[in-house]
Amino acid sequence: MPNPVVRFDGVRFAYGETDILRDVSLSVVPGQVVAIMGGSGSGKTTLLRLIGGQLRANAGRVEVDGEDMATLSESALYERRKKLGMLFQFGALFTDLSVFDNVAFPLRERTDLPESMVRDLVLMKLQAVGLRGAAKLMPAELSGGMARRVALARAIALDPRVMLYDEPFTGLDPISLSTIGSLIRELNDALGAASIVVTHDVAESLAIVDYVYFLAEGRVIAEGTPDSVRESAHPFVRQFVGGEKDGPLPFHKPAGPYATDLGLEDGRHD
């Protein structure tokens, strides 16, 4: 087993007195696509921000390629981010730049490559996502699925060691969703990268990932391969995978007796 390219070791992160992540440990090795699943507010996006260095852990270590992200200087962090690719929720394309210029942006910003080479690399990345023919279009002329694919081409422009995906399937029709899922798997395999996918989409994710971590209340409460997840008897995993209304995550927020709130006692209205 190769050394992890991303590793969390006993990580705690809090805003003030409010813990977001509590003693989180996980790892991702090159070639793996790993899903992070959990309910809203469980700490999934915070985990991505710790990997990117936007946030720093209060305790424990967040390592990328063996480097502790909390100890990097601003210049070292900038260099490290050159090896990270990020697909934001809904793509986050620059609306005033063409498709070509969106994909070219990280190449022009972070390298000194001649424009002829930038052109070749942009067309190569667009070809990889099936949109070389859309190079001259503006983001407003793209469908949601096409915009997400352009954003993916931009994210892989620098051949990152680590790819981060924040809810990549949100708002997509079934065809676009399946296309993005396939591209995540194919591009990861082609790059030999490590990919981390934060998602609520259980079916599509289990079809493409190698491993899954489940977060709840800031902790890793379950983990396993897609097959073990599908067969899991863990109450939270069963509720999440099955989309059940009630379980460890209750439908009703704890409250006092309903009849009391309605002003009812012994079946009579006061």
Nearest to 10 by CA among 62, 49, 52, 47: 62
Residue 154, CA distances (Å) to 139, 230, 243, 250 in order = 13, 33, 33, 40
User: Which range is least confidently modeled, 38-42, 195-199, 218-222?
Assistant: 38-42
Task: Mark whether 172 and 217 lie in a shared domain.
Answer: yes
Within this chain, do residues 236 and 167 fall inside the same structural domain, yes or no? yes
Same domain, 109 and 146: yes
Quick one: 95 and 75 in the same domain?
A: no
**H or E stretch covering 14:** strand 6-15
* Adjacent-strand bridge partners of 8: 26, 62
pLDDT range class, residue 210, cuts 50, 70, 90:
very high
Residues 257, 175 within the same domain? yes
Instruction: Give 49-84 pLDDT, tens digit per residue.
Output: 999 888 999 999 999 988 888 888 888 888 888 888
Q: Is the pLDDT of residue 247 over 60?
A: no
Give the residue from 216, 212, 126, 199 showing the smallest Cα distance to 164: 199
- For the cut 70, the answer to whether the pLDDT of residue 201 exceeds it is yes
Q: Which domain holds residue 95?
A: 91-159
Tell me the three state secondary structure of residue 210. coil
In a 13 Å sphere around the CA of 72, the CA atoms on its Cβ side amount to 25
Nearest to residue 129, comparing CAs of 187, 46, 73, 56?
187
Number of residues that make up the chain: 270
How many domains in the chain?
2
User: 150 and 171: one domain?
Assistant: no
Of 115, 133, 159, the one marking the end of a domain is: 159
Counting Cα atoms < 13 Å in the Cβ hemisphere of 23 gives: 1
**Per-residue pLDDT tens for 88-146?**
876 688 899 999 999 999 999 888 899 999 999 999 999 988 899 999 999 999 988 88
Residue 219: pLDDT over 70: yes
Q: Looking at the structure, do residues 169 and 260 belong to the same domain, yes or no?
A: yes
